[in-house]
Amino acid sequence: MKVESISSWDKNFFEDFVRFRNKIHSEIPTSFPESITDYSRYFASDSIFADFKWRAFLVKKNDQTIAKCVLCFRTESDKANLGFIDWENDIDVALLLIETVINYAKEMGIKKIKTPVDINFFIKYRIRLPSKSKPFFGEPLYPDYYHELFQKTGFSVIEKWDTYRLSKTKGFIDFLTRRRNFKLKSKNQALESATAFQKSRIRCVDTKNWDQDLKIMYELFHEAYKSMPEWEPLSFEQFKMIYDDFKYIINPWYSFIATYDGKPVGFCINFVDPLSILKKVKSKKLSRLDKVLLFLKLRLNTSCMLISHVGKVPGQNNEEIKGVLISFSKRLQYLCLPMRKILVTFQVINSPSRRSFNESSLEPYAQYVLYGREL
């Protein structure tokens, strides 16, 4: 076995990368074929991610790729993200790959590695634990044996998340209770507070002015999530490249932006799981008519609501912001009624959005972990 590595764009190198990735992920329902273009967006010399340093690794045996990964970090940081990682179920291969990566990381002054993280947690991170639950779009699904290889190469779990299935009946009762309690509380507040609450407004995401609303969501994401331990900043141009295609997936009726006194203060980003629809056109070349029909199917989809991101900016007027979140819940409860299933996705234990739901209305659905290793 031998290891090859590069730190500048090489099309031939990444073509091997792509072929091996697509081979490993061919049977994973949440994975779609990738191309050399997908990787050039991140690693070519003119990439908008040029502020990240990186080194890509391939392990080969008899000229056949058997493992790959990319280590990414910023110059000023002593932490690195190990992502785009795939390997055959062979501990010797895994040990060789990780040993080579760690030797390089130490040379660069890296003291901690997190995995799997593809460049930044906005792109793709975490790995689902083995589960019999039906996968949904965007789940970080890998072959089950990856967990054993991570653990045997010195990595341990450093963070956990849960996805829950929300009971429509219990959730609706919970919403009515919270709304009543908030109203009773607000009656005892000063007139100033009641007036402040009236300054709160909620509107749907406007896909006709997508760039404008994407910029608002970018700023809200930064304010709401910057205290997270895995937080890493991105420029708006990088954020836009990652999320721009979401305008075709999200239904604007199900995603909202909240304002307080005219200033954006909260968001609730949700969409109906498109996986079953997209799998049918996987790897197919679509005509214009096919694309129109696909768009309509996505808009009329009622299979599974994914409550994806709920957040608010930190600051004053907490009671008024609570009112905003209750208004989010009100809209969601009505919109979720025709859905066959509702999932509250990727909830960390201390997540503010996790506290938006009563535990009795949530049924465990899937779990995810992030691995880390100190050097």
What tokens were used for 151? 């653990």
Tell me the pLDDT band of 109, cut-offs 50, 70 and 90: very high
Question: What pLDDT was estimated at residue 163?
Answer: 93
Cis before 116 (ω within 30)? yes
Mean pLDDT of the chain: 85
The secondary structure of 212-266 as a DSSP string is HHHHHHHHHHHHHHTTSTT-----HHHHHHHHGGGGGTS-GGG-EEEEETTEEEE
Say yes or no to pLDDT of 186 above 70. no
User: pLDDT per residue over 324-339, tens digit each?
Assistant: 655 666 666 666 778 8
Amino acid at 366: A
CA separation for the pair 62, 165 (Å, rounded): 46
What tokens were used for 38? 């997908």
Tell me the pLDDT band of 15, cut-offs 50, 70 and 90: very high
Question: What pLDDT was estimated at residue 329?
Answer: 60
> Which of 324, 307, 175, 176 is closest to 254 using CA atoms?
307
CATH topology of 2-154 equal to that of 164-374? yes
Cis before 229 (ω within 30)? no
What tokens were used for 134? 């039906």
**Contact present, 258 and 200 (Cβ < 8 Å):** yes
CA separation for the pair 296, 201 (Å, rounded): 29
Say yes or no to pLDDT of 178 above 60. no
Residue 304 — φ and ψ, nearest 5°? -155, 120
Tell me the pLDDT band of 247, cut-offs 50, 70 and 90: confident
Question: What pLDDT was estimated at residue 337?
Answer: 74
**Contact present, 324 and 173 (Cβ < 8 Å):** no
Question: What pLDDT was estimated at residue 192?
Answer: 46
Tell me the pLDDT band of 365, cut-offs 50, 70 and 90: very high
Across the range 273-278, mean pLDDT stands at 92
**CATH number 3.30.750.24 is the correct assignment for the domain at 164-374:** no
CB atoms near residue 235 (< 10 Å): 12
Question: What pLDDT was estimated at residue 221?
Answer: 85
Helix (H, G, I), strand (E, B) or coil at 125: strand
**Contact present, 67 and 97 (Cβ < 8 Å):** yes
User: pLDDT per residue over 188-233, tens digit each?
Assistant: 554 444 555 567 778 889 988 999 999 999 998 888 777 776 778 8
Question: What pLDDT was estimated at residue 117?
Answer: 96
Across the range 256-274, mean pLDDT stands at 85
User: pLDDT per residue over 346-363, tens digit each?
Assistant: 988 766 566 666 677 788
**Contact present, 57 and 69 (Cβ < 8 Å):** yes
Q: Which of 7-11, 45-49, 299-303 shows the lowest mean pLDDT across its residues?
A: 299-303
Full 3-state SS string of 303-339: CCEEEEEEEECCCCCHHHHHHHHHHHHHHHHHHHCCC
Any idea where the domains of the chain sit in the sequence?
2-154, 164-374
Question: What pLDDT was estimated at residue 356?
Answer: 62
CA separation for the pair 76, 260 (Å, rounded): 36
Which residues, other chains included, contact 184 with Cβ-Cβ below 8 Å and sequence gap of 6+?
none
CA separation for the pair 6, 9 (Å, rounded): 8
Say yes or no to pLDDT of 266 above 70. yes
**Contact present, 54 and 71 (Cβ < 8 Å):** yes
Tell me the pLDDT band of 111, cut-offs 50, 70 and 90: very high
> Which of 79, 9, 2 is closest to 42 using CA atoms?
9
| CATH fold of 2-154 | Aminopeptidase (3.40.630)
Say yes or no to pLDDT of 63 above 60. yes
**Contact present, 317 and 284 (Cβ < 8 Å):** no
Question: What pLDDT was estimated at residue 17?
Answer: 94
Amino acid at 61: K
* Environment class of 42 (CB within 10 Å of its CB; exposed 0-12, middle 13-18, buried 19+): buried
pTM of this structure: 0.87
> Which of 306, 204, 334 is closest to 249 using CA atoms?
306
- Better pLDDT: 251 or 371: 371
CB atoms near residue 197 (< 10 Å): 19
Using a pLDDT cut of 90, give the percent of the chain over it: 51
Across the range 13-28, mean pLDDT stands at 95
* Environment class of 245 (CB within 10 Å of its CB; exposed 0-12, middle 13-18, buried 19+): exposed
**Contact present, 116 and 82 (Cβ < 8 Å):** yes
- Cα–Cα–Cα angle for 253, 257, 259, nearest 5°? 140
Say yes or no to pLDDT of 316 above 70. no
Place of tokens 């690794």: 57
